[in-house]
Amino acid sequence: MAGAARTHRLSTPVSPEALRELSIGDIVYLDGVIYTGREGLYRRMVDEGMAPPVDLGALSNVNFHCSPAASVAEDGSLNLGAVTATASFRFSRFMERFFELSGAKVIVGKGGMSETDYRELFVPNGAVYLTTVGYGTGALLGRGVTRVQAAHWLEDLGIAQAVWVLEVSRFGPLLVESDLAGNSLFERENRATAEAVERAYAGLRPPSLSRYGETVSRGDEVL
Amino acid sequence: MSEIARDLLQEAASEIMARAAIEIPRDYRDGIRGMLGQEQHELSRFVLEAMLENWEAAEADRRAMCADTGVPRFYVKAGNEARPEGGFVALEEAIRSATAEATRSVPLRPNRVHPLWRTDHDNNVGINAPEIEYSFEPDADWIELTTVHKGGLFGTDYRMLFPADGMDGIKRFFLDTLVQFGRRGLACQPAIVGIGLGGSKDTSMTLGKQAACLRPVGEPNPDPGIAKLEAELKELGNNIGMGPMGFVGSSMVIDCHVEVGYTHTGGMPMSVHCFCLSSRRATARVHAGGGVEYRSDPRWFTPYMRRETVGWQAPLARTA
């Protein structure tokens, strides 16, 4: 790593100036309001053209790829326990349109997306990706939620896919996975580990039967 | 012979659901502390330290350690003399009730949905859910319930290898699985890596999963040859330069557990499973007399389970 990681506390909506300060590998804590949204929200907004259940842009510019461990009591009150992100790479195809519709500038999730996605989708929208740590620090992130404002579409989409609006304080730790230039912490680390991974395989004979898909040609046999 | 009360079984099943979700097993936590002592890389150290802090927060707040509370499942070990009140159908109903109840009360994330229609009962119960697997123990009148909360998406793979592939084949497939799911930390490593070798395809998957989820960190297989393989694989996995979240580091495999089953003479099926940074398991022994003892080591693989001979009471001497 180039120098020790810096720690930032960002308030929502996160300003463009604050985003410019972030470098990959920095530690971030969030204060303010964030909302959860994953394929349930994205399918409706992007594929079906439905309006979101609330004006997302007015709420916050931080979208969290998350399903909380939560339950709904008989009287309708919400009990939120642990909070952990879900893997973000699955949502790549929704992001371009979602950025346009929501005005989101910060995506919080698990595992990041590809550097190509950052360059083509995030950079033009002035957005960054923050990854949760572990995974997952569900109890620490749960502690960072001070109040549940609402759980929209709870009836239709269920607890996991509902849009949870969360008031947060010192919500983290999160790591900067992509910055405004589209650099990726994960891809930097992948490149750094590639050589040692190759070395680990040295001298190990490949199995006699391949698996379909290990070759790049669909005409190849696995034998 | 006294029956084991149904209500007591349900109470114990609910209690282990909460314990599993909230309390990191001590063997796993101590193993991570040990890895932190070895880890040289700043980012990897940061992740391990955050996890240690997370487990403290979970226990202090009585909150699940990870919000992906996995797909809860149960392992039942029944003493040969054990008689659950209402029979095993009632026991299964108690387990299903406890799963639904704990999902609401802990709370857990209601992860379980129908695979096609995505129907969601918000209680982790449905068709074939939770899974309940059984084993038996001679000369005992208790029932042990173990629950495991393991994520269901990444970190597991299966492959049919052949005898001629040998140890190279085993090592390669082990590396394949660690690397493909280790990048970006999709396996949520450092993991207890469970490996199932042999049996039929499904047996190899079942054994590997049980090896990952039901044996504590630091407990080798009693067969010295297999224990040696476990140690070698652990060493190999911690030397690919990868740590938690796929960052540069050395903390990948907290322990490696191999379980075997006699297999087809022409084959060597192998499965690899990663039990994650939230390695959630808890066990209750429910006695016929009414007492319940709780622990985090399931003690699933008993000498009886690993028996090699036709009979159990008088196993034949091993021939050289």
Residues B176 and B253 in one domain: yes
pLDDT attached to residue A216:
60
Domain CATH code at residue A178: 3.20.130.10
Mean pLDDT of B101-124: 93
Residue A181: per-residue pLDDT: 97
Is the torsion defined by CA of B147, B152, B154, B157 positive or negative? Answer: positive
**pTM for the full predicted model:** 0.93
Identity of residue A91: F
User: B28 contacts in A (CB within 8 Å)?
Assistant: none
Q: Which amino acid is at B195?
A: I
Q: What average pLDDT does range A159-175 have in this prediction?
A: 96
B28 domain-assigned: no
* A14 part of a folded domain: yes
Q: Is residue A220 part of a domain?
A: no
The per-residue pLDDT for A1 is 45
Domain assignment present for B36: no
The C-alpha of A85 sits at a distance from chain B's nearest C-alpha, in angstroms, of 8
Chain A residues with CB under 8 Å of B280 CB are none
Least CB-CB distance to B63: which of A142, A175, A208?
A142
Please give the tally of structural domains in chain A: 1
Give backbone dihedrals phi and psi of B307, rounded to 5 degrees, phi first.
Answer: -60, 145
Find the CB nearest A82 among B65, B122, B247.
B65
Disruptive mutation site among A135, A143, A145 for chain B (greatest number of B CBs within 10 Å): A135
Closest CA in chain B for residue A70: B107
- Tell me the chain A residues in contact with residue B58 when contact means C-beta distances shorter than 8 Å: 82, 138-139
- Residues of A whose CB is below 8 A from B43: 1, 5, 25, 175, 189
- The C-alpha of B119 sits at a distance from chain A's nearest C-alpha, in angstroms, of 9
Domain span at residue A13? 7-201
In this predicted structure, which of A166-170, A203-207, B260-264 has the lowest mean pLDDT? A203-207
| Residue A211 belongs to some domain of the structure | no
pLDDT, mean over chain B? 95
**Which of B247, B264, B276 best probes binding to A when mutated, by most A CB atoms within 10 angstroms?**
B247
pLDDT exceeds cutoff 90 at A215: no
Q: First vs last Cα of chain A: how many Å apart?
A: 43
Task: Report pLDDT for A49.
Answer: 96
Q: Is residue A212 in some structural domain?
A: no
Which whole number is the average pLDDT over A73-83? 90
State whether B109 and B165 are in the same domain.
no
At residue B63, the pLDDT reads 95
Q: Are residues B269 and B122 in the same domain?
A: no
Nearest CA in chain B to A212: B159
d(CA A130, CA A123): 14
Asked whether residue B140 is domain-assigned, the answer is yes
A219 located within any domain: no
Statement to judge: residues B194 and B135 lie in one domain = no
Find, among B44, B62, B145, B57, the residue nearest to B97 by Cα: B145
Assess whether B13 and B132 both reside in one domain: yes
Q: Does B97 share its domain with B202?
A: no
Regarding whether B142 and B200 lie in a shared domain, the answer is no
Residue B310 is assigned to a structural domain of this protein? no
Domain hosting residue B114, numbered range:
6-20+65-151+281-295
Please report where in the chains the tokens 């070759």 appear, as a residue.
A215
Residues B47, A69: C-beta atoms closer than 8 Å: no
pLDDT tens digits along A34-64: 999 999 999 999 999 999 999 999 999 999 9
Question: Do B220 and B138 fall within a single domain?
Answer: no
Question: Shortest CB distance from B162 goes to which of A1, A81, A209?
Answer: A209
- As a whole number, mean pLDDT of residues B182-196 equals 96
Say if residue B260's pLDDT is above 80.
yes
Gyration radius from chain A CA atoms: 20
d(C-alpha A154, C-alpha A95), whole Å: 22
User: Does residue B271 sit in the same domain as residue B285?
Assistant: no
Residues of chain B with Cβ-Cβ distance to A205 below 8 Å are 165-166, 168-169, 172
A54 contact partners, CB below 8 Å, separation of at least 6:
A150, A152, A163, A165
Arithmetic mean of pLDDT, B219-227: 98
Question: Which residues of chain A are within 8 Å of residue B161 when distances are taken between CB atoms?
Answer: 207, 209
Contact B245 A192 (CB under 8 A): no
The complex scores an ipTM of: 0.91
The verdict on residue B54 lying in a domain is: no
Of residues B64, B236, B241, nearest to A81 (C-beta): B64
Q: How far is B292 from chain A (nearest CA, A)?
A: 27
**Cβ-nearest to A69 among B109, B162, B276:** B109
pLDDT averaged over every residue in chain A = 93
Q: Which pLDDT value is given to residue A211?
A: 82
Using the predicted structure, report yes or no on whether residue A103 has a pLDDT greater than 90: yes
Question: How far apart (Å, rounded) are the C-alpha atoms in residues B309 and A19?
Answer: 66
Query: Is residue B98 one of the residues assigned to a domain?
Result: yes
pLDDT at A76: 87
Chain A nearest CA to B244, separation (Å): 7
Confidence of residue A67 (pLDDT cuts 50, 70, 90): confident
Spell out the long-range contacts of B89-93 with Cβ–Cβ below 8 A and sequence spacing 24 or more: B90/B6, B91/B6, B91/B9, B91/B143, B92/B132
Residue B107 has pLDDT above 70, yes or no: yes
Tell the residue number behind the tokens 């070895």, with chain if given. Answer: B38
Looking at the structure, do residues B191 and B147 belong to the same domain, yes or no?
Answer: no
pLDDT at A210: 85
Q: Are residues B161 and B82 in the same domain?
A: no
Q: Which residue of B has its CA nearest to A26?
A: B43
Specify the pLDDT at position A212.
74
Give B-chain residues touching A134 at CB under 8 angstroms. Answer: 47, 50-51, 54, 66, 185, 188, 244-245, 277-278
Q: Does residue B168 sit in the same domain as residue B271? A: yes
Q: Do A197 and B240 touch (CB under 8 A)?
A: yes
In this complex, do A138 and B185 lie within 8 Å of one another by their Cβ atoms?
no
> Residue B118: pLDDT above 60?
yes
Q: Mean pLDDT throughout A161-190?
A: 97
- Note whether B183 contacts A186, CB cutoff 8 Å: yes
**pLDDT confidence band for B1 (50 / 70 / 90):** low
The H-or-E segment that residue B181 falls in is helix B166-182
Residues B39-96: tens digit of each pLDDT: 999 999 999 999 999 999 999 999 999 999 999 999 999 999 999 999 999 999 999 9
Q: For chains A and B, what is the number of CB pairs under 8 angstroms? A: 202
Query: Would you say B258 and B230 are in contact if contact means Cβ atoms under 8 Å apart?
Result: yes
The total number of structural domains that make up chain B: 2
B65 and A138 in contact by Cβ < 8 A? yes
What CATH number is attached to the domain comprising B96?
3.30.1330
Measured in angstroms, the CA of B206 and the nearest CA of chain A are apart by 21
Q: Which residue pairs from A185-189 have beta carbons closer than 8 angstroms and sit at least 24 positions apart in sequence?
A: A185/A24, A185/A25, A185/A112, A185/A131, A186/A111, A186/A112, A186/A131, A186/B183, A186/B184, A186/B245, A186/B246, A187/A114, A187/A115, A188/A24, A189/B43, A189/B245, A189/B246, A189/B247, A189/B248
**Residue at B317 is within a domain:** no
Chain A nearest-CA distance from B285, in A, is 27
**Per-residue model confidence (pLDDT) at position A219:** 62
Indicate the residue of A68, A173, A175 with minimum beta-carbon distance to B67: A68
B-interface mutation test, from A67, A113, A140, most B Cβ less than 10 A away: A140
Q: Is the pLDDT reported for residue B222 higher than 70? A: yes
